[in-house]
C-alpha cells in the first residue's frame, strides 16, 4: 500500500507538470517568439493589421503606423517590435489604443536610430 501511494505521487507530479507545460506549448511560444493564430482572441480583431513606417532623410525610422485598428481595440495595448533579417530586435515600442471612429491609424514613435535598410520584420501584439 505504501508503495502504491508513492507511485501515485510520482504519477500525479508528472501529470500536473505536463499540464502546465502543455498549456504554455499550446501558445506556440516555446521558441521565445509569438506565433500568430495559436491563441484564442477574445474580441477586438483577429486580422493581421498592416504596418507602415516613416523615415528621416538619413533613412532612420522615426515612426511606425498600424493601419485600420478596429474601434473595439480601444484600451488594449498595441506593441510593435522592429526586427532585422534574423528576427533580432532592433527596437520596440508600445502604446494604449485610443478611442476613434471606425478603423483608426495608431502611430508610435520609434526610439533610437533604426536604419530602415536593416528592418525586415515587424512583430506585433494586441493585449487586453
Nearer to other proteins, 6 or 113 (CB): 6
HEC readout, 84-99: CCCCCEEEEEEEECCC
The distance of closest approach from Cβ of residue 100 to other proteins in the complex, given in angstroms and rounded to an integer, is 18
Task: Name the 3-class secondary structure at 69.
Answer: strand
* 3-state DSSP helix/strand/coil % of the chain, to nearest 5: 25, 40, 40
Residues 41 and 27: their CA atoms lie apart, in Å, by 12
Nearer to other proteins, 57 or 101 (CB): 57
Number of Cβ within 10 Å of residue 86's Cβ equals: 7
Answer yes or no whether residue 34 interacts with other proteins by CB under 8 A: yes
Residues 77 and 69: their CA atoms lie apart, in Å, by 12
The distance of closest approach from Cβ of residue 109 to other proteins in the complex, given in angstroms and rounded to an integer, is 16
What would the x/- binding string for other proteins be over residues 56 to 95, using CB under 8 A?
xxxx-------x--------x-------------------
Residues 35-54 binding other proteins (CB under 8 A) are 35-37, 39-46, 48-54
Interaction site with other proteins (CB under 8 A): 1, 5-6, 9-10, 12-13, 16-21, 23-24, 27, 29, 34-37, 39-46, 48-59, 67, 76, 115-117, 119-128
Amino acid at each position: 500500500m505504501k508503495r502504491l501511494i508513492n507511485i501515485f505521487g510520482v504519477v500525479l507530479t508528472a501529470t500536473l507538470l505536463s499540464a502546465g507545460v502543455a498549456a504554455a506549448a499550446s501558445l506556440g511560444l516555446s521558441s521565445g517568439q509569438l506565433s500568430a493564430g495559436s491563441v484564442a482572441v477574445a474580441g477586438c480583431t483577429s486580422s493581421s493589421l498592416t504596418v507602415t513606417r516613416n523615415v528621416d532623410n538619413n533613412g532612420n525610422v522615426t515612426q511606425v503606423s498600424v493601419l485600420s485598428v478596429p474601434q473595439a481595440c480601444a484600451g488594449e495595448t498595441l506593441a510593435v517590435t522592429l526586427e532585422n533579417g534574423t528576427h533580432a530586435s532592433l527596437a520596440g515600442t508600445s502604446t494604449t489604443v485610443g478611442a476613434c471612429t471606425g478603423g483608426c491609424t495608431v502611430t508610435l514613435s520609434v526610439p533610437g536610430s533604426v536604419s530602415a535598410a536593416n528592418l525586415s520584420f515587424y512583430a506585433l501584439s494586441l493585449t487586453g
